[in-house]
Structure 1
Amino acid sequence: MPGGEDIEESRSSYWRPLIGGIKITRILNVGSTLSFAAVDDNGNEGYVMSGHAALNAGGIGGNIYQYLLPVGDVTDIGGYYSDAAWVEYSNVDPSIYYTDSNVVKDVYDQTDPLLGSMVYKSGKESGLTSGVVTAKYQTQPSQSFGTLYKQFSATYNSDDGDSGGPVFITTPTGKVVLHGVHRGRYNGYASFSPISGVMNDLDVTPIHA
């Protein structure tokens, strides 16, 4: 696949450095999906994950694991424009696990998607799925945060455990443009927090390859 790196790993394998689209867990091995590598306003590297999964891990200070080994504690949680959380962790890479044929793609840029555009979601449970954006900048209810503002909906398939999965498009050169973080389902559609909301809530910027 153009721009992809063929690797012999799975989403739940041991990963160092950490990349987007792989399985991370909290206590008792309950899993969600790592979203993407980022850097905060103080220059600290780390990664973005699901906000409600971070709350279920104990909130700020909660322990996160990958392949049963610790990979940082929850540093910040959104909850206004995003169902997303921030974990400081130095060993990250700006790549996304693309498909279960073991292809990884580099992150090139980030932007909110257009209404009607095609997007992909990479999740630890349902893998790579695609669909069309059906709503943008919509106020949606949240079991964890009460209300989330400026959320997006799309027609891609998703399942439990995909929370935190990166939502993106690919470029002609085989790289990734990040669009947001998958959070669940709303009114029968997949729901995701746009990259603008994640960056605004957490004061982080995706790292580019």
Structure 2
Amino acid sequence: MKPHKIIVILLALMLAAIIFVPIVSASDDLSKESAIKNAETAYQKEIILAAFGRVPSEKLPYTDLRKIDSDPWYSSLRAVNSESDKELQKYYYPNGPMIGKGIDMKGSIVVMINKDWVVNQSVLKEIYEKISEQGRQKGIENIPCRFISMGLMETQATRTEQIRPVIGGTKVHMAGYYSTLGFVATDSSGNRGIVATGHMGSIGSSVYQPDPTVSGAFIGYKTTLGNTYSDSSWTQLTSGVTSNPKVYESASAYKTFNYWDDNPSGLTLYMSGVESGLTTGSTVYQANVWNDHYGKYIQNQWYATYSSATGDSGAPVYEKYSTGETVLVGIHVGRSNGTGYAIFSPVQGIRRDLNWITPLTG
């Protein structure tokens, strides 16, 4: 190859390298800047209940998390965070409002307060004083501390997995078949139990959530059957099985039943079943319905337009008020063959059949 050709090739390679390197660096800087902005935006969405102390002026509003381990300030914060825990045990959930404590990317101690707790500023000050005392012992005056409102963690399981506490809209199994858990309730003696479909299993059947192949899935025995004003059943929860007045809508969304009503009000209906997931529709009309399983008419059932499938029997049916409340109105029992209408038993009928159980609300 001739010398001048070699020189041309080398110059071309050098030019490519010069152009290529700045592009990568600019991309990295842009990515880092975007990450910082996203972190700032996410932090601002948190509800700050109170802030004490001050962040040292030399600290940036956002700290690169990859550098925390070698940062003297964060080492001090971690020490204070760990030592102060010994003095704060009585404030932790379930006996107190704290559900977590740590450090944030702004160079502060952060205390997470249960969002369902009624804020008491004097209690927040008590907590800060104990943190501040540990700070002074480590040579930090006016240690920065933020109190933020946070919700308790909810596991993001699928509705066909074991979920504890047990909630509505999840898989239950009895007598070799599966269906959907309707809702949690209490009987006249205050015992908690679940309401599910009546047309699966019989009195005395073992009930599992989600099914008998899972360790610890047994939740009780079917003890009461409703087949006059509803297609429902009652299972008192066995000792040690916890429950909540919630309904599974998705892996990241559990809604709390705030109220229950005897019958639907005419608002949009929601049905949350094991097979269909979350579906919506409208109430159409009320009528007595022939039930092949019992060989008789079930009185005063409601027809609706939400979609459903086999396996959804027992699923909670509910409404959502414009003010944000979720209101239980019944459980899904089946479909009208060939017409596309869903059928559900109202809370009023369920309560009459199951010895006036009371749906649990929160």
Pair in the same fold by TM > 0.5: yes
1:82 aligns with 2:233: no
Q: Decide which structure has greater helix share.
A: 2
The answer for unaligned runs of 5 or more in structure 2 is 1-115, 117-150
Encode CA deviations 1:10-53: one digit per residue, 9 max, x unaligned. Answer: 1011111110000011244x210000000011211101000102
Q: Percent identity?
A: 38
Q: Paired residue for 1:71, among 219, 235, 242?
A: 219
* 1:204 alignment counterpart: 357
TM-score (norm 2): 0.52
Listed as ranges, the matches of 1:18-37 within 5 Å are 18-28=166-176, 30-37=177-184
Amino acid at match of 1:78: G
Q: Paired residue for 1:125, among 268, 271, 275?
A: 275
* 1:62 alignment counterpart: 205
Residue 21 of structure 1 contacts residue 122 of structure 1 at CA under 8 Å; is this kept in 2? yes
Partners of 2:326 and 2:317 lie apart in 1 by 10
1:9 aligns with 2:161: no
Residue 169 of structure 2 contacts residue 273 of structure 2 at CA under 8 Å; is this kept in 1? yes
* 2:309 alignment counterpart: 159
Residue 167 of structure 2 contacts residue 245 of structure 2 at CA under 8 Å; is this kept in 1? yes
Number of residue equivalences: 199
Select the structure of larger CA radius of gyration: 2
* 2:257 alignment counterpart: 107
Residue 273 of structure 2 contacts residue 311 of structure 2 at CA under 8 Å; is this kept in 1? yes
Q: Decide which structure has greater strand share.
A: 1
Q: Paired residue for 1:190, among 332, 342, 355?
A: 342
Partner of 2:310: helix, strand, or coil? coil
Tell which deviates more after alignment, 6-15 or 37-46.
6-15
The answer for unaligned runs of 5 or more in structure 1 is none
**Cα RMSD for the two superposed structures:** 1.9
